[in-house]
Structure 1
Amino acid sequence: MNKFLQAVVGLGVAIAPLTSSPALAQAEEIVIPAIAAMSGPVAVTGQDAQKGIAVALEHINADGGVAGRSLKIQLYDTQGNPGVVRQVMERLTRLERAPIILGCEISAGTSAAAQFAEQARVPYLNSSAVSAELLERGYKWYFSDQITADSEASTVVSFLDHLMTQGDVVPALLYEDSPRGAGTIERIEVLLEERGIEIAASAPYSRSDRNLLPPVKRVQTSGANVVIWAGYTEDVVTGLQAMQQLDFKPYIIGIGGGPGDVRIPQLVDRDFIEDVNLSTVDYFNPDMDRAQRFVKAYEEKHGIVPSSYASMCYRGAYTLKAALEETLEAGQDLTDENLRAALLEIDIPGKELISPFSRIKFDEHGRNVGSQNLIAQWKEGGTKKVTVWPPEVAVEEPNPLN
Structure 2
Amino acid sequence: MRLRHCLYAGLALAASTLLIHETQAQEAIRVPMMTPLTGSIAVLGQDSKKAAEVAQETINAAGGIGGRPLQLEIVDTQGRPEIARREMERLTREGRAPVVLACDISAGTSGAAQYAESAQVPLLNGSAVSADILARGYKWYFSHQMSSDDEAATAFAYMKTATGTKPLADRRIALLYEDSPRGAGTGERLRKLMDANGVKVVSETTYNRADRNLLPVMRKVQDSTPELVVWIGYTEDVVAGMKAARQLDFKPYVLGIGGGMGDPRLPELVDPAIIEQLHVANVDYFNPDIKRAAAFREAYLKKFGAEPSSYAGTCYAAIFTLKAALESALKASPDLTTTSMRDAFRKLDIPGDQTVTSFRSIRFDPANGRNLGAEDLVAAWVDGKRKVTVFPPSIAVGKPVMLP
Give TM-score scaled by structure 1 length. Answer: 0.92
Q: How does 1:141-180 map to 2 (within 5 A)?
A: 141-167=140-166, 168-180=170-182
Distance in structure 1 (CA, Å) of the matches to 2:209 and 2:276? 24
Distance across 2 between alignment mates of 1:395 and 1:282: 15
Matches within 5 A, 1:3-402: 27-167=26-166, 168-364=170-366, 365-379=368-382, 381-402=383-404
Whichever residue aligns with residue 71 of structure 2, its letter is K
Aligned amino acid, residue 74 of structure 1 = E
Deviations 1:130-168 (A, max 9, x none): 111111101100000101110100011111112333434
DSSP 3-state at the match of 1:366 = coil
Deviations 1:253-304 (A, max 9, x none): 1011000001000011111201111111112111111101100010011111
Give the 3-state SS of the residue equivalent to 1:355 in structure 2: coil
Counterparts in 2 of 1:339 and 1:25: CA distance versus 1, 3 Å:
closer
Contact 1:24 1:68 in 2 (8 A): no
Maintained 8 Å contact 1:108/1:180:
yes
SS in 2 for 1:80: coil
Distance 2:228 2:81 in 1: 33
The aligned residue for residue 8 of structure 1 is: none
Q: How far apart in 1 are the matches of 2:137 and 2:360?
A: 25
Q: Is the 8 A contact 1:52 1:310 kept in 2?
A: yes
Q: Is the 8 A contact 1:166 1:400 kept in 2?
A: no
- SS across alignment from 1:74: strand
Structure 2 SS opposite 1:228: strand
- What is the CA distance between 1:312 and its match in structure 2? 1.6
Aligned residue type for 1:134: I
Q: Tell me by how many angstroms 1:219 deviates.
A: 0.7
1:4-55 CA distance string (max 9 Å, x none): xxxxxxxxxxxxxxxxxxx999711111101000000000000000000110
Q: Give the counterpart letter for 2:253 in structure 1.
A: Y
Could you list the runs of 4 or more consecutive aligned residues of structure 1 that deviate by over 6 angstroms after TM superposition? 23-26
**Secondary structure of 1:201's match?**
strand
The root-mean-square deviation of aligned C-alpha atoms, in Å, is 1.4
Q: Deviations over 1:360-392 (max 9, x none)?
A: 11110211111101100100x211100011222
Cα distance 1:166–1:269, how it changes in 2: closer, same or farther (>3 A)?
A: farther
For each residue in 1:211-245, what CA deviation from the matched residue of structure 2 results, as whole angstroms up to 9, or x when unmatched? Answer: 00111111100011100100000000000000010
Task: Verify the 8 A CA contact 1:52 1:313 in the aligned structure 2.
Answer: yes
Secondary structure of 2:110's aligned partner: helix
Match of 1:20 in 2: none
Cα distance in 1 between the residues matched to 2:262 and 2:175 = 18
Name structure 2 gaps, 5 residues minimum.
1-21
SS in 1 for 2:279: coil
Output the amino acid matched with 1:303.
G
Distance in 1 between the 2:76 and 2:165 partners? Answer: 46
**Which segment drifts farther, 292-301 or 86-95?**
86-95
More helix by share: 2
Letter in 2 for 1:215: V
What SS does the aligned partner of 1:58 have? helix
**Counterpart Cα distance in 1 of 2:345 and 2:275:** 41
Tell me the SS of whatever aligns to 2:202.
Answer: coil
For the Cα contact (< 8 Å) 1:99–1:123, is it kept in 2? yes
Contact 2:35/2:74 (<8 A) preserved: yes
Q: Secondary structure at the match of 2:261?
A: helix
SS of 2:188 mapped into structure 1: helix
In 2, the alpha carbon distance for the partners of 1:330 and 1:53 equals 26
Give the letter for the 1:202 counterpart: E
> Contact between 2:25 and 2:67, CA under 8 Å: does it hold in 1?
no
- What is the Cα deviation at residue 350 of structure 1? 1.4
Letter in 1 for 2:358: P
Structure exhibiting the larger radius of gyration computed from Cα positions: 2
Contact 1:100/1:123, CA 8 A, preserved across alignment: yes
Q: Which amino acid aligns with 1:84?
A: I
% identical aligned pairs = 51
Q: TM-score, normalised to structure 2's length?
A: 0.92
What is the one-letter code of the residue matched to 2:320? Answer: Y
The 8 Å contact of residues 332 and 338 in structure 1, kept in 2 or not, is answered as no
- Code of the aligned partner of 1:371: A
- Tell me, in whole angstroms, the C-alpha distance in 2 between the residues paired with 1:332 and 1:194: 51
Unaligned runs of 5+ in 1: 1-22
